[in-house]
A and B are shown apart, each in its own frame.
Chain A
Amino acid sequence: MSQEISSKGASRRKFLGTSAAAAGLSIAPGVSLVSVAEAKPLDKSISSEQRWGMLIDTNKCAKGCSACVDACNTENGLNTGDEQLSRQGQKAQWIRKVDLRDKLTGHEVSLPLMCQHCENPPCVDVCPTGASFKREDGVVLVDKHICIGCRYCMMACPYKARSFIHEELLNQVEDVPRGKGTVESCTLCVHRIDEDTNEQRDPACADACNTAGHKAMVFGDLKDANSELSKQLKQHSSKAIRADLKLNPGVRYRGI
């Protein structure tokens, strides 16, 4: 019993130590002015101690604004003009704007919709090759090296978040390999997440939304109680789209 207590004490000390190191400016234990996310060294593996997610406030999302969509296209090289023969609906799209209107009241909301990075992703369940997978930190990806392009995942996804590449691509962005015959979707900008920087780097969409002044997208670690995301989720009521499917998506919405 005494051993148990002492080990608890040790882990608590360790916790306090690391959290003190992570906090940039602290005035008293547990009270910080500026918190700085701890950078993951490039050679360190990701872990399930984190789960990346996002909170989208539809009240702040402006109708007609497509800053997030444009930023995503640029960041991931989706609009390089390589897809010449594909119809509009066939072209790769990782994030799209959806406008909803309540028929009864006429109330309108506009929101960005992308891969919701489910805890229990149906795309992973149905993948016959194991190409569709969830990283330890909750990001759902496609390993294009083993994707055979069967598109079962596209049918399984209730959010219609995935795209299939029908044509040969030549102008990929170096951080984002993409190619003909494979399925792809929002990666939460993993190449940014994995970067060894002192500050947390938001995905391109959230970055653009902040720059545009709407600040409707908050990105962060769902498992870190001190992250801005967790604080906002605790404070405000939020919803998962199609919560009835019990997929526990990492992306949540306010105002719907």
Chain B
Amino acid sequence: MKYLHLMLAMLTVLLLGSNTVLADVPSPTIPKGNAEKCVLPKDEMRVNHMEHILHQRDETMYDGIRTEQFSFKKCINCHAVKDDTGKTVSHKDERHFCNSCHTYSAVKIDCFDCHASTPNSRDKVTAAGGKQ
């Protein structure tokens, strides 16, 4: 099963590289994050971000582990998208980072039923966890 993904990926690369027919296929416009690079390589995050978030979710919930690498809060802070007026858009807006791909792939997520979808007043927590 593991190799199936790999083969599919290779096939996609081949197709993209050699064929121009796919150029007509609409692709999602994914906004760039605000940091230099993501916590893991892009390809890994695209495929497995939910696994990492899920793992961190239970560690935080039950064990009080609040490391920053897969912190949902950090994702939201870094991937905040601003509208024309400079205001950060919420998950209700199709330009929201998560929506940019989830709308495209028709995968409904319910994270934001509970979690804040925009960085808010307390995003000023420093790397050490203390307040500025």
Contacts and interface: CB of A to CB of B under 8 A. Distances in A.
Interface of A: 40, 42-46, 133, 135-137, 141, 143-145, 168-175, 177-180, 182, 190-191, 193-197
Closest 4 CB pairs of A and B: A179-B114, A46-B64, A45-B63, A177-B114
A172 B90 contact: no
A182 B115 CA distance: 13
Interface residues of B, number: 26
A42 B129 contact: yes
Contacts of B67: 42-43
B66 A141 contact: no
12 contacts: A45-B65, A135-B64, A143-B61, A143-B62, A144-B114, A173-B122, A174-B119, A174-B122, A174-B123, A177-B116, A193-B64, A195-B66
Contacts of A194: 64-66
B128 A196 contact: yes
Contact of A145 (B57, B63, B119): B57
A45 B64 contact: yes
Contacts of B61: 141, 143, 145
B73 interface: yes
B34 interface: no
- Which of A133, A169, A170 has the most B CB atoms < 10 Å from its CB? A170
A24 B129 CA distance: 21
B115 A177 contact: yes
Contact of A172 (B68, B116, B123): B116
Given A135-B62, A195-B66, 15 more contacts: A42-B66, A44-B65, A141-B61, A143-B61, A170-B90, A170-B92, A174-B73, A174-B76, A174-B119, A174-B122, A177-B115, A177-B116, A179-B114, A182-B114, A197-B130
Interface in B40-77: 57, 59, 61-68, 73, 76
A172 B64 contact: no
Contacts of A190: 64
Contacts of B113: 168, 179-180
A43 to B, nearest CB: 5
Contacts of B123: 174
B116 A195 contact: no
B120 interface: yes
A180 B115 CA distance: 11
- Which of B90, B113, B128 has the most A CB atoms < 10 Å from its CB? B113
